[in-house]
Amino acid sequence: MLKFIQNNREITALLAVVLLFVLPGFLDRQYLSVQTLTMVYSSAQILILLAMGATLVMLTRN
């Protein structure tokens, strides 16, 4: 099983992302509250728009 995870980069990346969300949730119970998730979403909105614009530029080749 460990060999399978090491050979698949996508699964390794997915596990790392899941771990980044689960670990703080265990350390602080308020981390996964609705208020915190709403704050994170509202803070990330501008980054989401910028990333969508950059993706559009890359897809259309400038």
pLDDT at 9: 83
Q: Is the pLDDT of residue 62 over 80?
A: no
Q: CA–CA separation, 50 vs 13, rounded Å?
A: 23
Instruction: Convert the pLDDT of each residue in 14-38 to its tens digit.
Output: 999 899 888 988 888 888 889 988 9
pLDDT at 37: 84
pLDDT at 36: 87
Q: Total structural domains in the chain? A: 1
Please list the alpha-helical segments (H only) found in the chain: 2-7, 9-27, 34-59
The structure's pTM equals: 0.48
Higher pLDDT, 42 or 37: 42
Q: How far is CA 22 from CA 5, 25, 36, 44, in A?
A: 19, 5, 14, 19
| 31: phi then psi, degrees, rounded to nearest 5 | -60, -40
Q: What is the DSSP letter of 32?
A: G
Q: By residue range, what is the domain housing residue 31? A: 2-59
Q: CA–CA separation, 17 vs 14, rounded Å?
A: 5
